[in-house]
Amino acid sequence: MGLSIGIVGLPNVGKSTLFNALSAAGAQAANYPFCTIEPNVGVVPVPDDRLDQLSALIKPLKKVPTSLEFVDIAGLVRGASKGEGLGNQFLGNIRQVNAVLHVLRCFEDDNVTHVEGGVNPVRDRDVVDTELCLKDLETVEKRRERTLKNTKVGGKVGEEAKAEVALLDRIKAGLDNGITVRAQKLTEEEGAVIHDLFLLTDKPVLYVANIGEGELGKEDANPHVKAVREMAAKEGFEVVVLAAALESEIQQLPETERPGFLESAGLSEPGLHKVVRAGYKLLGLWTYFTVGEQECRAWTIHQGYKAPQAAGVIHSDFERGFIKAEVMRWEDLVKLGSESAVKEKGLLRVEGKEYVVQDGDCMHFRFNV
């Protein structure tokens, strides 16, 4: 669906290390700022036990998970909004993503320098947000100047321009006080007015608290993690705690050795799985499945998609010529063992154009073009 999450943070907090683990793309990671110059992009499969269970039952020739795109963006520093470091490039790259994964350093290590002089994840978040607010201020002010000219026009155009200027003034006042756009709680209608500005602080955020390997299982005792959780709770966003260096090690192991390594580290699954699932949730995404002997496949949709829109994710012809959808729940199929058994129990439904697809539906579309 072309959705992407940008990995951001100050230099040397573990962004590229996390990206390496997520994508196994081998992005360079080194102990100095601006190691990541061009944004690295990785397409990461979304772990889904439901697809695994369906595939184990159907035994298709191919299993295809859905995926998310992660973008590793150069580290931000104070003054980035005015072009310090790789500021302009950073801000241009982040403007293109749909959500932000903000990596915060919560580990102490004298061998890894910190551009702010010491570990303080809440301060680090504030540094990044301040720079993004300053850049958004520029964007809002430019839009205000253009819109102001239309306030002198009569009729509907002039009235709409006046309303927009009033909204921009309110947003500007918030940004001037360091309040991000997402924290200003705009209405859906107000959000639509400024949507095309792609404001940096309007993007939803997932925080990753990066801890040391030795702190796994003891993260509740880490004061930095506690501070990040309290901060995120106030904003209404989620926190995933992991050791990025360890996650990168896990991804370098052969598949057969990973379960044993995870067990020895006291993990039930890689922390990356939690990151990807949390990112998926942050973007308001759901998954439906198509199942058959040739292929079991997961498809990404936005929450609230109706059946024709969901069909269009497969191919535009499916949406254009949509007739109906045969729908069953994934858990019914796994429990009963076959589509025919689901039908016998009366659990296979025929739905029309107004059906709102649910997370975990198994679907077969009928269409005619």
Per the annotation, binding residues for ATP are: 12-17
Angle CA 114–118–120, to nearest 5: 105
Residue ranges for the known binding site are: 12-17
Q: Which of 283, 109, 339 has the alpha carbon at shortest distance from 211?
A: 109
Spatial strand order of the sheet with 322-329 comes to: 62-64, 295-302, 285-290, 361-367, 322-329, 349-351
Helices (H) and strands (E) in the chain — how many of each?
Answer: 14, 12
Pairing state between β 285-290 and 295-302:
antiparallel
Residue 362 in 3-state DSSP?
Answer: strand
Residue 140 in 3-state DSSP?
Answer: helix
Give Cα 135 to chain centroid, integer Å. Answer: 22
How many Cβ atoms are within 10 Å of 96's Cβ, its own excluded? 12
Pairing state between β 295-302 and 62-64:
parallel
